[in-house]
Amino acid sequence: MSGTVGVWIGAFLTIGIFSFLYKDNPVYKLCEAIFVGVSAGYWFVSLFWQNIWPKLILNLFPALAPAPVAGAAPAGPNYVYAVAGVLGIMMLMRLVPKIGWISRWPLAFTVGSTAGLYFITYLQSNAINQIHDTLTPLVHAGGGSFLFIPLPFHVNWDALFIFVGTFTGLIYFFFSVEHRRAAGGAAKVGIFFLMVTFGASFGYTVMSRMSLLIGRMDFLFGNWLGLIK
């Protein structure tokens, strides 16, 4: 077994978190509180030295910055960053119930500006690229085959699969026509594609959680108990 105090503390906290699988208990609540508190403290210090100090303090008070490179012109204060500082202080007004409404203004500014900045990025990745994939030619010139049957053209099966999935998925959400006969059959195909998509997303989430579990098991049986070499 490990003789390191830090490893024993980590093993105790890990087992304490796992104890919730049995039932809620004081040990789990203690470990949860320690985890939340340590995480909050870590991110507070990290964000201060990575964001507030270099981007706000040093831009408003450049004299606090390290000595500039020889020959470089001294930088003056950039008062534009004072706007961000004021908005940050206004955000903290949420801690005072009587004037908590002030925090809505910087929150609205942050949400609106962030949505505008990321709009183009998400439009490119989630809309234009998706539309482009459905407009890819389904058939190309040249010889091809289907189930060992020669064809005078080449079928782009990937593009055909994406086109069918997108088209039938849209039909499923098209409620102006009753889902009967051809429309009903296409809607059922769309449901199949939707279930495959949701299942793949859920499976990805499960695998990411399993990787965390495997890491904790490796820590307990390897670093702590020494059963895994």
Rounded average pLDDT per 10-residue block, the chain, 229 residues: 88 94 94 95 95 90 74 74 92 90 93 90 81 79 68 78 89 87 91 94 93 93 88
Q: The pTM is what?
A: 0.65
DSSP H helical ranges for the chain: 5-18, 26-47, 58-60, 81-92, 104-123, 129-134, 157-172, 181-218
Cβ atoms < 10 Å from Cβ of 164: 16
Q: Which two tokens stand for residue 52?
A: 């507030």
